[in-house]
Amino acid sequence: MTAPRPQATDDLSILTVRLASPRGFCAGVERAIRTVEDTLSQYGRPVFVRHEIVHNVHVVSRLAAMGAVFVESLDEVPSDRPVVFSAHGAPISAHQKADSRHLVKIDATCPLVLKVHNQTRRHIAAGRHVILIGHAGHPEVIGTMGQAPDGGSITLIETEDEASKVSLPDAPLAYVTQTTLSVDETRGIIDVLKSRFPDIAGPAKEDICYATSNRQAAVKATAPGTDLFVVIGSETSSNSVRLVETALAAGSAKAVLTDGADSFDWSLCDAARSIGVSAGASAPEELVEAFLTTLAKKRPIKIESVETAKENIVFKPALRLAS
Ligand code: SF4
């Protein structure tokens, strides 16, 4: 769907705000946050969480205030307290370690990440060498790399250039992808792989999740012609960073990521006549509302909604609460 370009009004003081939809929380993030809340209500505080449950500073501090303790190593989890695994997924070794310590483990891995884990394990079991397209060091990539029992059946690539040069074992090949990549860049990488290795196995569509694709499509429709594009989300959030890149590629003059109204550089809006606004999949809608409320106190605004899809996906809870 192509949305019309922003219609700046004749009154130069009025700022046109184009609000991208869908934006903000996805089903996997809602489920993960609820998992921590449910675990707190079932087991009391503290509840330990392996890694930030989702990549958003506001969400993490709210849950920390409720009694969640975020740790990077399972060694930091006392044996008598439950541990929640984050939405990004974990390597097999982390599950084994929690099990060997008999920890109460609640897995909030997004079902769409689990789907990639399952595909990866199936390919390896069928004797294929797996190419993972993703960003080195991201927890989801660490979790997917950790699905190989010997650690050696997966090669990570990040760019088209790497896809064109990577040397691989002499074995049947398959590819999987991180769920929160740029749709356009990933398509280019897959095209290079398919041209080099015509028999490579892969998903019918890349593994980029519905939420990432929908948010990028909404930003593509919202950004053209805007003077500034504001993505609300944290620096650690891969899908939020991709939205900034998408806005620039789609024709916004400038695009920035912000954790919210409190830390935003409001001088960026001074000379703008139209701005676009979206939020990453881990950013709560309250942050968008607070941003717009603060903006409206600084300048008169006219809001245009640009909706490219409706979402109604809900995942089953990870924890069945005892009644
Ligand atoms: S961004 Fe996609 S993969 Fe990640 S939690 Fe949300 S739905 Fe799941």
Q: Do the domain assignments include residue 315?
A: no
Give the domain-ending residue among 139, 171, 196. 196
Domain with 75 in it: what CATH number? 3.40.50.11270
Q: How far apart (Å, rounded) are the C-alpha atoms in residues 79 and 45?
A: 14
What pLDDT score was predicted for residue 4? 62
166 and 125 housed in the same domain: yes
Q: Taking residues 177-184, report their average pLDDT.
A: 96
Is 312 annotated as a binding-site member?
no
User: Do residues 187 and 216 share a domain?
Assistant: no
Q: Which tokens hold the place of 300?
A: 């008169």
Cα–Cα distance list, 228 to 20, 237, 255, 304, 308 (Å) = 13, 20, 6, 15, 20
Q: How far is the CA of 32 from the centre of ligand 1 (A)?
A: 10
Q: What is the pLDDT of residue 35?
A: 97
Statement to judge: residues 216 and 172 lie in one domain = no
210-262: per-residue pLDDT in tens?
999 999 999 999 999 999 999 999 999 999 999 999 999 999 999 999 999 99
Q: How far apart are alpha carbons 137 and 146 in whole angstroms?
A: 12
Report whether 269 belongs to an annotated binding site. no
301 in any annotated domain: yes
Burial 91-122 (b: 16+ CB within 10 A, else e): beebbebbeeeebbbbbbbbebbeebbebbbe
For ligand 1, atom 6: residue with the closest CA? 28
Is 164 within the bounds of a domain?
Answer: yes
Yes or no: say if 193 and 200 are a contact pair by the CB < 8 Å rule.
yes
Residues 146 and 81 in one domain: no
Average the pLDDT over 40-63 and give the result: 97
Residue 288 has pLDDT above 70, yes or no: yes
Is 35 inside any structural domain? yes
Percent of the chain residues topping a pLDDT of 70: 96
Residue 112, ligand 1, Cβ within 6 A: yes
Say how many domains are in the chain.
3
In a domain, 156, yes or no: yes
Considering the chain, what is the average pLDDT of its residues?
A: 95
At 149, the pLDDT band (50, 70, 90 cuts) reads confident
pLDDT for res 13: 79
147 and 192 part of one domain: yes
User: Could you tell me if 227 and 273 are in contact, meaning their C-beta atoms sit under 8 angstroms apart?
Assistant: yes
What would the mean pLDDT of 266-286 be, rounded to a whole number?
96
140 is catalytic: yes
- pLDDT band, residue 205 (cuts 50/70/90): confident
Q: What are phi and psi of 83, to 5 degrees?
A: -130, 135
Q: pLDDT value at position 5? A: 65
For position 6, what pLDDT does the model report? Answer: 62
Q: Which residue range(s) make up the domain with 256? A: 15-26+210-307
Q: Looking at ligand 1, which residue's alpha carbon is closest to its atom 8?
A: 28
Residue 8 lies inside a defined structural domain of this protein: no
Task: Label residue 87 by pLDDT band (50, 70, 90).
Answer: very high
Residues 43 and 116 in one domain: no
Average of pLDDT values for 307-319? Answer: 96
Query: Binning pLDDT at 50, 70 and 90, where does residue 3 land?
Result: low
Q: Ligand 1: which of 209, 213, 312 to mutate, most ligand atoms within 8 Å of CB?
A: 209
The phi and psi torsions of 192 (rounded to 5 degrees) equal: -65, -45
pLDDT of residue 8: 55
Same domain, 120 and 162: yes
In percent, the amount of the chain with pLDDT more than 90 equals: 92
Same domain, 244 and 303: yes
The answer to whether the CB of 287 is under 6 A from ligand 1 is no
pLDDT bracket for residue 9 (50, 70, 90): low
Residue 18 pLDDT class (50, 70, 90 cuts) = very high
- Which of the listed residues 161, 196, 231 is the one where a domain comes to its end? 196
201 part of a folded domain: no
Residue 174 pLDDT? 98
Span from the CA of 29 to the centroid of ligand 1 (angstroms) = 6
pLDDT at position 12? 64
Q: Are residues 214 and 291 in the same domain?
A: yes
73 & 118 share domain: no
For the domain that residue 145 is a member of, what is the CATH number? 3.40.1010.20
Shared domain check, 218 and 173? no
Whether residue 223 is found in the same domain as residue 298:
yes
Q: Does residue 145 belong to any structural domain of this protein?
A: yes
